[in-house]
Structure 1
Amino acid sequence: MKRFFNSGTSRQSQSGRSEPDESASRESVNPAAASEADETTRLLPNRIDSSYGGGYLSPDDPAVTPYNLFFVRAAHLFTIFLLFLTSIWWILLLVALFVTPPGFETRGSPFTAFSYASVAVTLLAVGLLFFAAPSKSVRIITGVVALFLFINTIITASVERTRHEEGWVGITSVAWAFAVSIWTIVTDRLVQWGKREEEERLTGRPESRRTLLEWMEVSVSSIALLILCAVSALLFCTLILRSLDSGLAPPGKRYWVDGNKYEIHVYCHGSKSKEPLPTVLFEGGDDPVENGLWQFAQNAVQNGSINRYCFADRPGLGWSDTAPSPFSAGQATEALSEALARAGEKGPWVLVGAGSGSIYSRVFSSRHGTEIEGLLLIDPLHEDLLGRVGAPTRGFWLWLRGILSPLGIDSVPGALFNGRTREDRVWGRAAYQTSKTIFAKLQESLVAKSLTRRDAITSRAIQYQDTPLTVISSGKMIHRDKAWQSKQEDLTKLTHALLHWDVVEDAPHEIWRTLEGRELIEKRLKKMVHLSLKRPINAVKAAAIISGGDTL
């Protein structure tokens, strides 16, 4: 139906001549008598006399816009408000990657929640940039994104382990991203309706063609949303893998620590002998104990070298949850002590620390001196070399890998084409690809040169000097790195009771990977465990035993 405008137009007299419209003249003379301004009178004061047919505007006229409608303008403002709120959430999650704000703890990886927040921010930003260029293709692609996000929300909330790890922060992030995707679809459809209504009202018919600028806007927005669609699909695949991995039961039990903020996995095996033999407590290096040292410990029990052993996964490794940031070696030791106490394991202990894990064993030894019967360090990391762990370039690459890790760029192809199993991803050769492990490594790197180094230096100052000590070093590491050699020698002076310093010539950093290394470690460990039967109880330990407590 055609619509004509009387304001400011002329009318035809009976004689066919054009005569001024008296009402228009009166309105021009007396503006107060004019009708209330609307988008037509406000935006188009002098355009009705154009030569475009029947008093309609040209479709290319900038006044033909969906922004004329109140609902479209309100949707635009509300989208800006949503982008503002989502950006605040995104910034908080970005900060949580380095320092956990109070209440923002996740027991899994904060990288996952950050990924969903990034999806939500991108959806809103793209929607605002191309707000006035609605497209059916955009709505279809966004619908696919919304479908993936909806499924991810259901899986995250319904699978017990993912719900436990993500907590309210992760569930809120994925649910919010889904809600934003639905709003994006609704907004695009609203703008499409408003655009058609205004074109019919102002030009006489809906416009089916697009300008070159509109085609460019639709193309760019479609490409951006296609990338988001791929991201959502990868997030879905990674979440499926995590759900499958959650079915892998831990060999031990998880215990709440630090005010029930997160859980630590503890596993102990072997019999408690009638003789007061100590329990061997293993601390892994870059990898969890399960990846190599666990098999060694099992063989040592079977061979009769030791009677019983325990190990606990550090936060973020193996079956343990991640801890809030920052997280130092001292905090890890406190969590380990609490988990062992909840598990009913009281020692005495012979500590075996490998690589970077030797830092944690040393801190534990210094804080539980009366319970420690020996300290065996396997190619240990010296506190003066923690700068390598905390190097800025290493921290940056860990952060970048963490940002990409929820996409499963490594883990998904590994599972589909390389035969990676659940064991590989939880504690094995592919564990370094998971978001949780990468976050734990980032935490370690962030405080290596500050908090952890301070803990290591302090532990050396308060270390019991009569604790038997054995150091076993890698020949390959010593020959390749002179600084490593000198620091290995320095670590033999941790106590006054050095039993052995051995160098396994052809062994790598993980000395137990070689037959010679395994045999030597087991031999030294057996001697240290049984040596405790011959050691006299010193006055400090006797006082602690009589009082039933520890001297820390």
Structure 2
Amino acid sequence: MVSLWGSKNNDDDQPQEEHDGDGAQATASEPQPNRSSEDTNERSRLLPPKRQNRGQGYLSPDDPAVSPYNLWSVRALRWFEVLFLMITCLWWVLLFISIFVSPPLFNSRGSGFFDVAYTTLTIGNILTALLFFATPSTAMSVLSMAVSVLLLINMIIILAVPRIRLEEGWIGIASVTWAALIGLYNVLTNKTVKWGKAEEEERLTGRTETRRSLREWCAVFTATFLMSLYVVIVVLFTAVLVIRSRDASLAPPGTRYLVDGDQYAIHFACVGNQTYYTDGKPKPTVLLEGGYMPVEDGFEDWVYEAWANKTIDRYCYWDRPGIAWSENAPSPHSAGMSADAISEALAVAGEEGPWILVSAGIGSIYSRVFSARHPRDIRGMMFIDGLHEDLLYRVANPGRGFILWGRGIISPLGLDRLAGALFKGRTKEDRVFGKSSYQGGKFIKNKLQENLVANSLTKNEVVTARNIQAPKVPLVVITSGVHLKKDKDWERKQEDLTKVTEKLLAWDVVKGAPSEEIWRTAEGRKVLEKRLGELYKAAASKE
């Protein structure tokens, strides 16, 4: 029986002899020099002989077995990368929640948006490292190192500037430090994987592969693009921190007072000295409550003129949490919480009133809540284009809240602030309390906090305040004529504000005056000072 491999029985294992024409013998094992392909038979070798000089047993570089994952050190680094991603995502969730509801010890006196920005960058950095883990490159190492160095510079700026260090707190310091460490870890990982890849290629293929496939080149280019983007982002973070450092050098005109268990500080200032009537009782002090923008952005100017003209003897003002020189409060934060904050600051400052409350826009909501909580200390109220509680739903609009949240998330990039500083000549005064103050993260968070509770907590508080408002408090309502023309509901609501107390002194409509900024026109300033003087005299007669 003939086997498949060309052998018969045991006898066939012996060499077979063949005779040529000359009778010479030749064994079957000897090669035949002129044998043609037709001479191939069942005894012919099917596989070519192995060539030892070709590298017996080596794999192709494209073989899936040629992988740096064969090394336990490389696998361990990747496991740690996944672990770091899980920790960072958990931290990001906590920071995201703290913007809306601050957990214990998670309140940031600053906006909290920088913390989220650093953590988001860290997540992107880790995901990039994981996606392109097996295709290390020199460009990726260099860019990762650049990100880490810039983040370390960010950390140094935060720690070196007392105001920024206080606003960012331990949460911001921890976030930027973690981001920098992850960048350094990625540099180490990239170099280790590069070494492991070369090690395995030499062991399994006999040489180190210097070529890259199209797929690998696409991965390298994508990773390089992403890392370059991260470098640009961190450069913007650094530039914004430099601007914040400059702004921190602008000293407040008043004093910051810690409130709410020392969780944050609010800015409070006064102009003029306390004066007294002949019987020794203190004269009332005007207390300003700003509207959408800070008090210092023009609103205080006409009151200063009234003080300089001796229309009033003294006035004070404060910045709500997140506005101008005040720090951000924990979330959620309502009008009643702001009223408690200024009440505590007044007590710490030794200010006892009595008060004439002058407010603009949404500030009228805050003044009414404050008035209801201090009924014996209020000698008069003035609403300048004041917001009615029935219109708070406009402040609480979900679309507006989403836009505020989006602006807050990208605020650490400082695209508008940097452009203003570089090309428009914006000063630190503009950014702290002026026209550009709305671009800051603290301001945005203040407006987001207003948005979240305007139609719930704040509305309930102001409705309650109206029910317990002292009825004999002198009241002045001044309305923008421009606003009346633009908003049909505004006139009806302004008329209702004249009934907050039973003692209305005047309701003036100033034609041509802008909404919530009646003091921007000469006629507006004239009417405001006149009515404030009347409130002052009414308070004196009441005494």
TM-score for the superposition, normalised by structure 1 = 0.87
Q: Is the 8 A contact 2:135 2:219 kept in 1?
A: yes
Alignment-mate amino acid for residue 391 of structure 2:
L
Query: Could you tell me how far 1:294 is from its partner in structure 2?
Result: 1.7
Query: Could you tell me how far 1:535 is from its partner in structure 2?
Result: 1.1
Q: What's 1:272 paired with?
A: 274
SS at match of 1:198: helix
CA deviations over 1:310-351 (Å, ceiling 9, x no partner): 011000001000000000000000001001111111100000
Q: What's 2:188 paired with?
A: 186
Which has the greater radius of gyration? 2
Identity of aligned residues (%): 52
CA deviations over 1:233-263 (Å, ceiling 9, x no partner): 0000000000110000000000000000000
Q: Is the 8 A contact 1:52 1:58 kept in 2?
A: no
SS at match of 1:500: strand
Structure 2 counterparts to residues 23-422 of structure 1, below 5 A = 53-275=55-277, 276-422=282-428
Q: What's 2:464 paired with?
A: 458
Q: Is the 8 A contact 1:463 1:495 kept in 2?
A: yes
The alpha-carbon distance between structure 1 residues 57 and 501, as it changes in their structure 2 partners (threshold 3 A), is same
Query: Could you tell me how far 1:50 is from its partner in structure 2?
Result: 12
The alpha-carbon distance between structure 1 residues 326 and 51, as it changes in their structure 2 partners (threshold 3 A), is farther
| In structure 1, distance between residues paired with 2:176 and 2:301 | 39
The alpha-carbon distance between structure 1 residues 374 and 55, as it changes in their structure 2 partners (threshold 3 A), is same
| In structure 1, distance between residues paired with 2:315 and 2:253 | 13
CA deviations over 1:216-243 (Å, ceiling 9, x no partner): 1111111111111111000000000001
Query: Could you tell me how far 1:135 is from its partner in structure 2?
Result: 0.5
SS at match of 2:541: coil
Q: Is the 8 A contact 1:138 1:221 kept in 2?
A: yes
The alpha-carbon distance between structure 1 residues 50 and 191, as it changes in their structure 2 partners (threshold 3 A), is farther
Query: Could you tell me how far 1:49 is from its partner in structure 2?
Result: 11
Q: Is the 8 A contact 1:378 1:472 kept in 2?
A: yes
CA deviations over 1:355-407 (Å, ceiling 9, x no partner): 01000001011110100000000000001101111101100100000011000
Q: What's 1:448 paired with?
A: 454
Q: Is the 8 A contact 2:117 2:409 kept in 1?
A: yes
Which range is displaced more, 266-275 or 432-441?
A: 266-275
| In structure 1, distance between residues paired with 2:474 and 2:203 | 92
SS at match of 1:109: coil
CA deviations over 1:182-239 (Å, ceiling 9, x no partner): 0011101110010011111111111111111111111111111111111100000000
| In structure 2, distance between residues paired with 1:328 and 1:481 | 26
Question: How many equivalent residue pairs?
Answer: 490
Q: Is the 8 A contact 1:79 1:124 kept in 2?
A: yes
Query: Unmatched 5+ residue regions in structure 1?
Result: 1-16, 18-47, 537-552
Q: Is the 8 A contact 1:50 1:57 kept in 2?
A: no
Q: What's 1:13 paired with?
A: none
After TM superposition, the runs of 4+ consecutive aligned structure 1 residues lying more than 4 A away are 48-52
Q: Is the 8 A contact 2:167 2:327 kept in 1?
A: yes
Q: Is the 8 A contact 1:97 1:110 kept in 2?
A: yes
The alignment status of 1:514 with 2:503, answered yes or no, reads: no
SS at match of 2:191: helix
Q: Is the 8 A contact 2:321 2:327 kept in 1?
A: yes
Tell me which of 525, 530, 545 is aligned to 2:532. 525
Alignment-mate amino acid for residue 306 of structure 2:
A
Q: Is the 8 A contact 1:390 1:446 kept in 2?
A: yes
The alpha-carbon distance between structure 1 residues 470 and 50, as it changes in their structure 2 partners (threshold 3 A), is farther
SS at match of 1:327: coil
Alignment-mate amino acid for residue 508 of structure 1:
P
Q: What's 1:544 paired with?
A: none
CA deviations over 1:27-55 (Å, ceiling 9, x no partner): xxxxxxxxxxxxxxxxxxxxx99997432
Q: What's 1:505 paired with?
A: 511
| In structure 1, distance between residues paired with 2:459 and 2:349 | 29
| In structure 1, distance between residues paired with 2:399 and 2:52 | 65
SS at match of 1:533: helix
The alpha-carbon distance between structure 1 residues 311 and 66, as it changes in their structure 2 partners (threshold 3 A), is same
Which range is displaced more, 270-279 or 74-83?
A: 270-279
CA deviations over 1:398-444 (Å, ceiling 9, x no partner): 00000110000100110011000000000000000011101111111
The alpha-carbon distance between structure 1 residues 205 and 395, as it changes in their structure 2 partners (threshold 3 A), is same
Alignment-mate amino acid for residue 534 of structure 1:
S
Query: Unmatched 5+ residue regions in structure 2?
Result: 1-28, 30-49
Measured on the aligned residues, the alpha-carbon RMSD in Å equals 1.4
Q: What's 1:41 paired with?
A: none
Query: Could you tell me how far 1:97 is from its partner in structure 2?
Result: 1.6
The alpha-carbon distance between structure 1 residues 121 and 49, as it changes in their structure 2 partners (threshold 3 A), is farther
Structure 2 counterparts to residues 483-494 of structure 1, below 5 A = 483-494=489-500
Q: What's 1:540 paired with?
A: none
Q: Is the 8 A contact 2:55 2:206 kept in 1?
A: no
Query: Could you tell me how far 1:454 is from its partner in structure 2?
Result: 0.8
CA deviations over 1:265-293 (Å, ceiling 9, x no partner): 00011122232320000000000100012
| In structure 2, distance between residues paired with 1:52 and 1:60 | 18
TM-score for the superposition, normalised by structure 2 = 0.89
| In structure 2, distance between residues paired with 1:50 and 1:360 | 90
SS at match of 2:168: helix
Structure 2 counterparts to residues 430-449 of structure 1, below 5 A = 430-449=436-455
The alignment status of 1:473 with 2:484, answered yes or no, reads: no
| In structure 1, distance between residues paired with 2:156 and 2:460 | 44
| In structure 1, distance between residues paired with 2:271 and 2:142 | 56
SS at match of 1:373: strand
The alpha-carbon distance between structure 1 residues 49 and 229, as it changes in their structure 2 partners (threshold 3 A), is farther
| In structure 1, distance between residues paired with 2:480 and 2:54 | 87
